[in-house]
A = this chain, B = another copy of it.
Amino acid sequence: MANGPRIAIDAMGGDIGPAVMIAGMARARRRDKSLRFELFGDESKIAPELEKHRPLVEAVTIHHTTDAIESSEKPSQAIRRAKTTSMGLAINAVKTGAADAALSGGNTGALMAMSKLALRTMPGIDRPALAALLPTLGNTDCVMLDLGANTECDAQNLVQFAVMGSAYARTVLSLSKPRVKLLNIGTEELKGTGELKKAAALLREADYLPFRFEGFTEGDRLSRGDVDVVVTDGFSGNIALKTAEGTARFVTDLLRRAFTSSLRSKAGFALSKPALNLLKVHLDPNNHNGAVFLGLNGLVVKSHGGANYKGVANAINVASSMVRNDITRKIGEDLDNFRAHTFSDEAAE
């Protein structure tokens, strides 16, 4: 089998560490034999876990380090240990070309800060953004960004997020012309902040780009399946994503209470179980694991700290799909296109 994407893995990140990361790697490789891994972390903890997944061994190169970023560490402290920690070294492997993408389940702020410092933002991107897939009632998931990398964003940032998010949707969701909307508190043109209105005006004019801008959407429409890319600042995006997660758990908790409230409903639950398992699969965050830092000169994927091995495998699939589709190049082309039009407009005035 030809050599496929090489993924640098931070073995020490996440709530559980090497056991779940390595089990996830094994699962991902069972599906895709061409994957190879550069694995960074404490060899004494890695080796016994690798023993449990013998077929994986031939695809893994171990890079030993005992230094690791703690989940509570400040990004400003973490970046000082870029050269010694498993997270920093995994990112550096992307910088040097030893790997095509890096993946970590560790401290998000530290991962973002280290990635920015090592990989730098792409030409035309002021700030990278964190993007992820949300389940919907439609045929495909939708992409949402930014999910917390930037607490405050101006119109230019939002336009750049739209360009990056639509490149991501074209790649990972195989859509030729994704529908893009800005998250707002109403769909009328006069709603929202000044920056949102400015971003909408810019996007309305950018009809030469490979997406359709369809105006504003609201929080209650996110899972309806009528939008492919939801663009927002990192503060609102993080609030929306976490509120959606919390509400889904809230409803399923109420459902569990309802089903255990009487013998009769317990019997109903037993009968409905196969159907309800489909619901569980659809809502399981592990099936949507793998948030992506877009806008850097290199690919970095964030796995949820609490993801299980299926979630880690899913995040690895996200990373390898982006490598295969050369998403960084696609984003670059769209940005060049956008800037060429903007500058020629200005010159014509």
Interface residues of A (CB under 8 A from B): 72, 74, 135-137, 148, 151-152, 183, 185, 188, 190, 192-193, 218-224, 232, 234-236, 238-255, 257-259, 261-262, 264-265, 267-276, 278-279, 282-283
In the bound complex, residues from chain B placing their C-beta under 8 Å from that of A192 are: 151, 235
Assess the B275–A265 pair: CB atoms within 8 A: yes
Number of copies: 2
In the bound complex, residues from chain B placing their C-beta under 8 Å from that of A190 are: 74
The 15 sampled A-B contact pairs (Cβ below 8 Å) are A74-B190, A151-B192, A152-B193, A185-B234, A185-B235, A218-B239, A219-B240, A219-B243, A220-B243, A220-B245, A222-B243, A222-B246, A224-B250, A262-B274, A268-B268
Q: How far is the CA of A136 from the CA of B148 in the complex (A)?
A: 25
Contact among B72, B236, B282 for A239, CB-based, below 8 A: B236
Q: In this complex, what residue of B is CB-closest to A276? A: B258
Q: In this complex, what residue of B is CB-closest to A245? A: B220
In the bound complex, residues from chain B placing their C-beta under 8 Å from that of A254 are: 137, 279, 282-283
In the bound complex, residues from chain B placing their C-beta under 8 Å from that of A74 are: 190
Assess the A183–B239 pair: CB atoms within 8 A: yes
Q: How far is the CA of A279 from the CA of B250 in the complex (A)?
A: 11
Assess the A275–B279 pair: CB atoms within 8 A: no
Contact among B72, B183, B264 for A271, CB-based, below 8 A: B264
Assess the B250–A275 pair: CB atoms within 8 A: no
Contact among B247, B252, B259 for A243, CB-based, below 8 A: B247
Assess the B223–A250 pair: CB atoms within 8 A: yes
Q: How far is the CA of A253 from the CA of B160 in the complex (A)?
A: 34
Min CB distance A12 to B, Å, is 21
Q: In this complex, what residue of B is CB-closest to A244? A: B247
Assess the A278–B258 pair: CB atoms within 8 A: yes
In the bound complex, residues from chain B placing their C-beta under 8 Å from that of A283 are: 251, 254
In the bound complex, residues from chain B placing their C-beta under 8 Å from that of A270 are: 268
Q: How far is the CA of A257 from the CA of B254 in the complex (A)?
A: 18
Contact among B188, B218, B223, B275 for A261, CB-based, below 8 A: B275
Q: How far is the CA of A254 from the CA of B234 in the complex (A)?
A: 28
4 pairs of A and B residues whose beta carbons are closest in the complex: A268-B272, A219-B242, A268-B271, A220-B246
Q: In this complex, what residue of B is CB-closest to A232? A: B239
Q: How far is the CA of A21 from the CA of B94 in the complex (A)?
A: 63
Q: How far is the CA of A222 from the CA of B275 in the complex (A)?
A: 28
Of A234, A242, A262, A274, most buried by chain B (CB within 10 Å of CB) is A242
Min CB distance A29 to B, Å, is 31
In the bound complex, residues from chain B placing their C-beta under 8 Å from that of A245 are: 219-220
In the bound complex, residues from chain B placing their C-beta under 8 Å from that of A136 are: 250
